Amino acid sequence: MTNAYYEIEINPATRLPVKIAVLLLTGTREGTVVKDKKIVGGRHVAFHFEYGLSNFGKLKAPKIPPEAEKLLAKK
């Protein structure tokens, strides 16, 4: 069984996301205790990821050389 939860923090002034947090839970079949579709015990592992988006909207688009644009357009 695998469960995933995420939370997105948005700056109210800019209305842009500033942080994304992800929690991923997974367990082995028949080695994990499940209660009400939630992993509560047994053999399982949890992964926590947190991404800061402090440069969101601040970075400029990269300058692609004309030769590269031609190659990308062919694909």
Domain spans of the chain?
Answer: 2-74
Distance CA 34, CA 46 (A): 14
pLDDT of residue 5: 92
**Plot region of 15 (φ>0 → left; ψ -120 to 50 → alpha; else → beta):** left
CA distance 44 to 41: 7
Global pTM value: 0.53
Model confidence at 25, pLDDT cuts 50, 70, 90, reads confident
- Of the two residues 35 and 11, the one the predictor is more confident about is 11
Is a pLDDT exceeding 60 seen at residue 9?
yes
- Asked whether residue 47 carries a pLDDT value surpassing 80, the answer given is yes
Look at phi and psi of residue 71 and say left if phi exceeds 0, alpha if psi is from -120 to 50, else beta: alpha
